[in-house]
Amino acid sequence: MSEILTQSIQDYLKQIYDLSADGTPASTNDLAARLGVAPASVTGMLQRLSNVSPALVVYKKHQGATLTVEGERAALEVIRHHRLLETWLVQTLGYTWDEVHEEACRLEHVISEDFERRIAAALGNPVRDPHGDLIPTADLTMPNDDTRPLASLRTGEAGTVKRVHGADPAFLRHLQGLGLVPGAQVHVQAYSEFDGNLTLQVDSHPACVVGLAITKQVFV
C-alpha cells in the first residue's frame, strides 16, 4: 500500500484518532457505529491497516486499535483539512456552524496541500474552527487543549466558552439559542447536586438551566 490513503482509510484513521484520544483503544463496535459500517467490515480494515508498511494502526485481536505515529500523522492531516475547511466555509461563504460539518467531511479528502496552504493563509492561520476545535498546525502537531467541561464549574465560577463538542446540527442550533457558542461569557449561578444541572447566565441572554447532556459537551 505504502502511500495511497483512500477516503475510506482516512475516515477510519480520523475516527480511531477521536475514539482513542482518551488513551483507550478504539473498539470495533464503536468504530462501526461511527463509520456507519458493519463490525465485520471494521475488523477487516483494522487487519489491513495494521499489516501495511508502514503500519497505520496497532491492532491486536479483541483489543481494539490505536494509531501508529504514521497513522496519527495521516489522521491529523485530514483533521487539519476538515477544520480549516469548516472555518473557511463559515468565513467566506456564510455557512453557519451547524451546516459546515457535512460539506467539510467530503471536501477534506480531496483538497491539495496547496489549497490547504491558501485557505490557511487567507484565514490568518486560525487556531480553532467554528466549533472551537483546535486545528492541527501545518507541521501536524495538535496544540494542547487547556479547556475543561462546563459541567465541572460550580456556583460562582465563570468562564469563556472555548469549544463545543458534537456535530448534530439540531444540537448546535439549540446551543446557539442559549448563546452557548465559542466566545460567550458564562457565569454559573447555581449548581444542582443531584442532576448536575447548572443555572447559567450567558452573556446578556436570559438565565437558563442546562443538564449534563449539554454541560459535558461545552468547554470553557
Rule CB under 7 A: which residues touch DNA?
1, 6-9, 27-30, 35-48, 59, 61-64
Classified as helix, coil or strand, 83 is: helix
- Of 89 and 198, which CB lies nearer to a second copy in the complex structure? 89
Residue 190 amino acid letter: A
Classified as helix, coil or strand, 90 is: helix
CA distance readout (Å), 15 to 2, 51, 65, 131: 21, 19, 10, 18
Residue 120 amino acid letter: A
Closest by Cα among 182, 183, 180 to 206: 180
Binding site for a second copy (CB under 8 A): 92-95, 99, 102-103, 106-107, 109-112, 114-115, 118-119, 122
- Of 9 and 150, which CB lies nearer to a second copy in the complex structure? 9
CB 63 → a second copy: shortest distance, Å? 35
CB 10 → Mn ion: shortest distance, Å? 11
Residue found by looking up cell 501536524 in the block: 140
Rounded-to-integer distance, Cα 170 and Cα 164, Å: 13
- Please say whether the beta carbons of 104 and 64 come within 8 A: no
Which one of a second copy, Mn ion, DNA, none interacts with residue 94, CB within 5 to 8 A by kind? a second copy
Which one of Mn ion, a second copy, DNA, none interacts with residue 133, CB within 5 to 8 A by kind? Mn ion
- Please say whether the beta carbons of 145 and 211 come within 8 A: no
Which one of DNA, a second copy, Mn ion, none interacts with residue 131, CB within 5 to 8 A by kind? Mn ion
CB 149 → DNA: shortest distance, Å? 24
CB 40 → a second copy: shortest distance, Å? 23
- Of 107 and 186, which CB lies nearer to a second copy in the complex structure? 107
If you ran DSSP here, which 8-state letter would residue 65 be given? E
Which one of DNA, a second copy, Mn ion, none interacts with residue 35, CB within 5 to 8 A by kind? DNA
> 3 phi and psi, to 5 degrees?
-145, 10
Binding site for Mn ion (CB under 5 A): 77, 86, 113, 116, 129, 131, 133
CB 142 → a second copy: shortest distance, Å? 25
- Of 61 and 154, which CB lies nearer to DNA in the complex structure? 61
Count of CB atoms within 10 A of residue 64's CB? 21
